[in-house]
């Protein structure tokens, strides 16, 4: 999926990539089949606003709409495919159908990148995000009710023009209420040609720096808290590449956490059950459990 019709005031995508366009489902299925037949176990469906994916398919001479949820279902029929992800979603486009698909489709990974950008309704409105903090929090709890093991990541912009201390506190409060597995946070910087770049209520650099430090410290604490729950647990890990040390490999959990393991055999491109033994900064280190290859 390419392009975006949302026109957030800070973003160049609608101007540089144009309006939303979805690749036909047949093309994606053909490419996915080819990738799976050549060994791919995991696919990530990419789009600037992937949750707005729309295609159609002919069934008994009748055109049927294909949503992102339908696309995930169709792709999961590829037997050798084990994991499906999608990126990036706009909260307003997450449908009940997609949440239901997460509940029933075990190949769809329980990790959702759901950018909110700010926890202040005033700033969200100025950003033209088309959702409120309440909408976002209700969406997260609706998803968690249906899919209890779902974890979330998000994007945050601090120092958006006109952001007051109170607005910023609202963002910190939202982070506390939601609880994120990992997140990206940035200091606002104007993108030429966007409406926000014409806004003259610029936040002082020193204030933005302080806010960024605060938000990153909170998000880091949450990430550590989320990760520490995995110590001593068994986790499915898709090994993707060699790591720095001899005989060391690295792979990803369903939540995209990196896991390092040692083996004298080549493990790349396979999924193993791994016991997580320790956590160093953002990486796990673990041990492959005997004969538990999936
Ligand atoms: Fe940009 Fe995302 Fe907003 Fe679209 S939804 S305008 S891609 S930030």
Does residue 7 line the site of ligand 1, with CB under 6 A? Answer: yes
User: Which atom of ligand 1 approaches the CA of 7 most closely?
Assistant: 6
CA of 129 to the centre of ligand 1 (A): 8
Predicted pLDDT at 290: 63
User: Which atom of ligand 1 approaches the CA of 129 most closely?
Assistant: 3
The closest residue, in CA terms, to atom 1 on ligand 1 is 11
pLDDT digits (tens, 9 = 90+) for 218-234: 999 999 999 999 999 99
Mutation choice for ligand 1 from 13, 18, 155, 195, CB with most ligand atoms inside 8 A: 13
Does the pLDDT value for residue 84 go beyond 70?
A: yes
pLDDT digits (tens, 9 = 90+) for 239-271: 999 999 999 999 999 999 999 999 999 999 999
Does residue 130 line the site of ligand 1, with CB under 6 A? Answer: no
CA of 128 to the centre of ligand 1 (A): 10
Does the pLDDT value for residue 292 go beyond 80?
A: no
**How much is the pTM?**
0.93
Predicted pLDDT at 141: 98
The closest residue, in CA terms, to atom 3 on ligand 1 is 8
* Percent of the chain scoring above 70 in pLDDT: 98
Does residue 15 line the site of ligand 1, with CB under 6 A? Answer: no
The closest residue, in CA terms, to atom 5 on ligand 1 is 6
Please state, rounded to an integer, the average pLDDT across all residues of the chain. 95
User: Which atom of ligand 1 approaches the CA of 4 most closely?
Assistant: 4
Does residue 8 line the site of ligand 1, with CB under 6 A? Answer: yes
When pLDDT is averaged across residues 20-25 and rounded to a whole number, the result is 95
Q: What is the DSSP string of the chain?
A: -B--S---TT--HHHHT-S-B---HHHHHHHHHHHHHTT--EEEEE-TTGGG-EEEEEETTEEEEEEHHHHHHHHHTSTT--EEEEE---GGG--HHHHHHHHH-TTB-SEEE---B-S-HHHHHHTT-S--HHHHHHHHHHHHHH-TT-EEEEEEEES-TT--HHHHHHHHHHHHHH--SEEEEEE--PPTTSGGGG---PPPHHHHHHHHHHHHHHHHHHHHHHHHTTTT-EEEEEEEEE-SSTTEEEEE-TT--EEEEE-SS--TT-EEEEEEEEEETTEEEEEEPTT---
Does residue 13 line the site of ligand 1, with CB under 6 A? Answer: yes
**Least confident segment among 9-13, 47-51, 289-293:** 289-293
CA of 63 to the centre of ligand 1 (A): 29
Predicted pLDDT at 291: 52
pLDDT digits (tens, 9 = 90+) for 87-108: 999 999 999 999 999 999 999 9
Does the pLDDT value for residue 9 go beyond 90?
A: yes
pLDDT digits (tens, 9 = 90+) for 130-178: 999 999 999 999 999 999 999 999 999 999 999 999 999 999 999 999 9
Predicted pLDDT at 199: 85
Q: Higher model confidence: residue 200 or residue 159?
A: 159
Does residue 14 line the site of ligand 1, with CB under 6 A? Answer: yes
CA 253 to chain centroid, in Å, comes to: 14
Predicted pLDDT at 190: 93
């Amino acid at each position: 999926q390419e392009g975006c019709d949302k026109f957030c005031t800070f973003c160049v995508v609608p101007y540089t990539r144009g309006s939303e366009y979805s690749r036909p489902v047949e093309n994606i299925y053909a490419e996915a089949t080819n990738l799976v037949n050549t060994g791919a176990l995991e696919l990530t469906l990419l789009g600037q606003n992937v949750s707005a994916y729309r295609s159609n398919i002919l069934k008994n001479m009748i055109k049927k709409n294909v949503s992102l949820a339908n696309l995930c279902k169709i792709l999961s029929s590829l037997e050798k495919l084990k994991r499906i992800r999608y990126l990036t979603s706009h909260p307003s486009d997450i449908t009940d159908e997609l949440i239901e698909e997460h509940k029933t489709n075990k190949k769809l990974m329980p990790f959702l990148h759901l950018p909110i950008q700010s926890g202040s309704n005033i700033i969200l409105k100025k950003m033209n995000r088309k959702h409120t903090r309440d909408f976002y929090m209700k969406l997260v709890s609706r998803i968690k009710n249906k899919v209890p093991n779902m974890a979330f990541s998000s994007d945050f912009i601090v120092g958006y023009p006109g952001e007051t201390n109170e607005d910023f506190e609202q963002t910190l409060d939202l982070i506390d209420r939601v609880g994120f597995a990992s997140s990206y946070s940035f200091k606002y910087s104007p993108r030429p040609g966007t409406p926000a770049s014409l806004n003259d209520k610029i936040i002082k650099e020193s204030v933005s720096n302080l806010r960024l430090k605060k938000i990153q410290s909170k998000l880091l604490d949450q990430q550590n808290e989320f990760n520490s729950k995995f110590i001593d647990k068994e986790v499915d890990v898709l090994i993707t590449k060699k790591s720095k040390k001899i005989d060391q490999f690295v792979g990803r959990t369903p939540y995209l956490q990196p896991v390092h393991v040692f083996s004298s055999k080549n493990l790349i491109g396979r999924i193993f059950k791994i016991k997580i033994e320790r956590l160093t900064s953002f990486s796990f280190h673990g041990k492959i459990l005997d004969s538990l290859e999936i």
